[in-house]
Chain A
């Protein structure tokens, strides 16, 4: 009998859309080669957009501005609440306003290198090019970026780069950018160009004759399950970090849309590439429902340290300078506290594993502002980080002006996602994935302040250009109706699943399963992964799944507002996705970016990439629940940024 781990390798998958030629001309070339839809005909095309975060909100608004009929969904009560709103730090753009040597090429280079050479050059270069336009667009919308006294935009340096290219709005950049997109979307809703369905969750994808033609969605207020049809479907449903139960994602962020699409034929790429953010507030106990991130901009002025001695329980202020280990500054003298996220996270884990962690359970390190306060004065620190300090104090009841903050890594972002080509189209024609939902631009590790950039690049600029080509080449698709046998089948499957969840009437709550899965994933598929650990997880996940369907308890009915049902239904998908993540992590026996395999490290404990073997994106094809998927490799070619072992020393 073949187990889940005995996957087969299928034909390679290739991106056929990125034009050849010099990388800096590819985007222009692609836009020119793409067919256009006559403006008068756009009205006749319906596009479904799932999600209203930075990617979805900006895409919905822009497609509607172009004249398409957009039908948009979000599970939140308003399109203004998607979790992009929680991004704190900033957004990168190669504006070079500082005249500090930045350029599109440098942003491109930094992003490819930061992603540990597991991203597609064409995509990353395009991202760097578009970054410049994003800032213009957002300023025009009234996004209140931080400014200097002369009235010009302020920038700061952020997470592992040596230029100051990050634009920000105090510690709430994501909120301000999202509200900009939301407002643009609101304008289109008022104009009747976008039909908005809040509190409505996509539960499945409708694929007719090999093309994505609609979705099945549940009205979360009435419980009604409906079908919606379109000429193309865009998934902007975010990442899947909530597989880990505890993450910095919103409580209701989920993987259902992407996983259902995967089950319907869309390849899932690099699922094991998850980013563990180094600066989160440590957990306080078992009741913890989520983790809160502290912007890594804090690392610009804060110094990270642990006691030199194991088990040192003295209060931090009583530990003398020479008994402190500023380990990032020690190990990485040129980047110091600003090393990329994956490196900072792993270093924190290492010192805690050595027994030098601080706070409850020894799961924390200090982030100390004493020097910064001495150097800049309390007022300057307050101006720069005031709201973050307040947030920290509110959660921990400790004053970071007096006592160093305690931080610990937490799951934050998923670089993996649905495989897409240069046009952001998945392997299902007519199905596009944008923002965190796709895998495209960050490789094995995302740089700070790049998520906002990618979400908006995809939504405002890339997708609205490339989707035209698809629609222009498929101008007259047969209308699909509710009566179509495929639609009936998908609808029935969805209803069956809901009914089954309600029928089990077991003795365990949805959260208890979610927590169990999350702990398993954190232990075996978290910051450090090993062959034995991953195999253990792969053995355990089907058992949890089996137990889930035997013991789950969901009170209430399906025909009403039922948050337990929503939760349980999302866990069904996590229980399958987790398995694929572990398999992907197992098969990639190299360390790269956020994926650290204990078997693959340099003598001094750094991640060791294996380019000869693994210089590809792993796109997985679904074959059945619990059945071995098929691996399709997309070879990555580096013509401009030549792979070197990352060095931040």
Chain B
């Protein structure tokens, strides 16, 4: 396959960026999207140009590092991560636009690399269960109904890639935040911190400058792990419940 790539190039956080056009040839349909970019970068190094910077690590769709907007879609046309997108999803002669995640809470570091530390700070605000090592009771002391365990798991699947924010026209982090709130709040182990968790995480999400939710559903469509939009509804419910309870205290 022969492709034309239009790639966002930006020297560093302070520099102005722009789209640059490159040609790549001999692309196999079996290549992953990132392997195609590897080909481009090998080419660029040899011609003395700086290769395109992009985040990637596990390349098996689980670490959440890769983060490209491909032809306007976070992670490209398939419902998966960029690293698991294969070139068979494109056609010979295609022009492909590659851009970084766009959100003011995710500033660009270089080219296609953005700073997603805002997500870490949302987790730090309450996305945990306080269980210092050594203090745990016997694992079978508290049975968890299978339905609840499955619900928790489905939300715990979030890989923190940020596609939800990138896809949201408001740059909102509701889907990310709700995934963690729902994972922990449904479990009996998470119950003691149920209210503070959702209040603190939502407050941190706001403080990071993410937008609000207008329920466009773009986040859930882009999510490579299929976290559903209704996850946000569940979090809203938790938040209202927590606010009511906090008001009574």
Contacts and interface: CB of A to CB of B under 8 A. Distances in A.
A and B touch in the complex (CB under 8 A): yes
Interface string A525-545: 000000000000000000000
A248 B59 CA distance: 9
B130 interface: yes
Interface residues of B, number: 79
A182 interface: yes
Given A142-B187, A144-B187, A555-B51, A136 B139 contact: yes
Nearest to B56: A251
A390 to B, nearest CB: 9
B174 interface: no
A136 B109 contact: no
B141 to A, nearest CB: 9
B216 to A, nearest CB: 26
B146 A151 contact: yes
A251 B50 CA distance: 19
Interface stretch (B26-34, B68-76, B236-244): B26-34
Interface string A117-140: 000000000000000010111011
Interface string A452-466: 000000001100100
B144 A284 contact: no
Interface stretch (B91-99, B153-161, B165-173, B205-213): B153-161
A169 to B, nearest CB: 6
B156 A144 contact: yes
Contacts of B110: 560-561
B35 A187 contact: no
Contacts of A58: 133
B149 interface: yes
B4 interface: no
Contacts of A146: 149, 153
A553 B45 contact: yes
A172 B62 contact: yes
B129 A141 contact: yes
B130 A460 contact: no
Contact of A147 (B115, B116, B146): B146
B86 interface: yes
A136 B137 contact: yes
Contact of A151 (B45, B64, B145): B145
Interface in A145-194: 145-153, 169-170, 172, 175-176, 179, 182-184, 186-187, 189-190
A78 to B, nearest CB: 5
B117 interface: yes
A79 interface: yes
B16 interface: no
Contacts of B60: 86, 248, 290, 292-293, 391
Between A83, A139, A144, A293, the greatest number of chain B beta carbons within 10 A of the residue's beta carbon is seen for A144
Contacts of B153: 144, 146, 169-170, 176
A146 B42 CA distance: 43
A347 interface: no
B47 to A, nearest CB: 10
B38 to A, nearest CB: 6
B133 A189 contact: no
B149 A144 contact: yes
Interface string B88-132: 100000000000000000000110010111011001110111111
B195 to A, nearest CB: 16
B129 A140 contact: yes
Contacts of A95: 139
A467 B62 CA distance: 32
B28 A221 contact: no
A284 B87 CA distance: 13
Contacts of B245: none
A198 B65 CA distance: 13
A482 interface: no
Contact of B133 (A65, A175, A287): A65
Contact of A561 (B113, B128, B144): B113
B48 interface: yes
Contact of B123 (A61, A172, A182, A564): A182
A556 B50 contact: yes
Contacts of A556: 50
A41 B143 CA distance: 39
Interface in A545-579: 553, 555-556, 560-561, 563-564
A97 interface: yes
Contacts of A186: 120, 123-124, 127-128
B248 interface: no
Nearest to A505: B48
Contacts of B134: 133, 137, 461
A555 B45 contact: yes
Contact of A86 (B62, B116, B124): B62
B205 to A, nearest CB: 15
B161 to A, nearest CB: 10
A141 B113 contact: no
A391 B61 contact: yes
Interface of A: 58, 61-62, 65, 76-83, 85-86, 95, 97, 133, 135-137, 139-142, 144-153, 169-170, 172, 175-176, 179, 182-184, 186-187, 189-190, 198, 221, 248, 250-253, 284-285, 287-290, 292-293, 391, 394-395, 397, 460-461, 464, 507, 509, 511-512, 553, 555-556, 560-561, 563-564
Given A555-B48, A560-B11, 13 more contacts: A62-B132, A65-B133, A76-B63, A79-B120, A83-B57, A147-B143, A250-B63, A284-B28, A285-B28, A287-B38, A511-B42, A555-B44, A563-B51
17 contacts: A65-B132, A76-B63, A77-B55, A79-B120, A80-B123, A81-B57, A137-B133, A140-B189, A142-B128, A142-B131, A170-B153, A182-B123, A183-B123, A221-B109, A288-B35, A293-B60, A555-B50
For the complex of A and B, 7 pairs with smallest distance between CB atoms: A151-B143, A183-B128, A140-B136, A140-B131, A190-B124, A144-B153, A136-B136
